[in-house]
């Protein structure tokens, strides 16, 4: 019985990396921040990302922000987002989607205000 329990615990422990998801661990600007107009955004994730299937959409007071591009940082866990121009004042929402290197998809959003 003890061996069966140990085998089950080992199997669960071995499976845990496969259950990983890329969760947002930080962003610059931060959620609910009030800042001067940014020209870039940085989104940090808990797992490595597949850049071809990860990105952001940004919307503000005038609607969607066009010309946004995202690249993968050197650590493989950071999205570096370049904005086409400084954002005008107002509230912005960042909707992100990420595909972790292990194949799991996650989505989320956060907001900030440009003064």
| Paired sense of beta strands 90-99 and 24-28, if any | unpaired
pLDDT tens per residue, the chain (115 residues)? 555 444 444 444 444 444 579 999 999 999 999 999 999 999 999 999 999 999 999 999 999 999 999 999 999 999 999 999 989 999 999 999 999 998 999 999 999 999 9
| Paired sense of beta strands 78-82 and 105-114, if any | unpaired
**CATH numeric code, 20-114:** 2.60.40.1220
Residue 87: asked if its preceding bond is cis (omega within 30°), the reply is no
Q: How far apart are CA 34 and CA 109, in angstroms?
A: 16
CA dist list (Å): 36 to 59, 69, 86, 88: 17, 20, 9, 9
Q: How many residues does the chain have?
A: 115
Burial of 59 (0-12, 13-18, 19+ CB in 10 A): middle
For residue 21, the Cα-to-chain-centroid distance in whole angstroms is 11
What pTM was estimated for this model as a whole? 0.82
Q: What is the pLDDT of residue 57?
A: 98
């Amino acid at each position: 019985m003890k061996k069966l329990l140990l085998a089950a615990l080992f199997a669960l422990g071995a499976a845990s990396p496969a259950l990983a998801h890329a969760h947002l661990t930080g962003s610059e600007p931060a959620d609910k921040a009030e800042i001067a107009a940014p020209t870039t955004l940085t989104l940090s994730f808990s797992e490595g990302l597949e850049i071809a299937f990860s990105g952001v959409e940004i919307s503000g007071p005038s609607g969607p922000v066009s010309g946004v591009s995202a690249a993968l940082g050197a650590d493989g866990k950071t999205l570096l987002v370049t904005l086409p121009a400084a954002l005008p004042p107002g509230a912005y929402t960042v909707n992100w989607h990420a595909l972790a290197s292990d194949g799991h998809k996650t989505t989320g959003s956060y907001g900030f205000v440009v003064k």
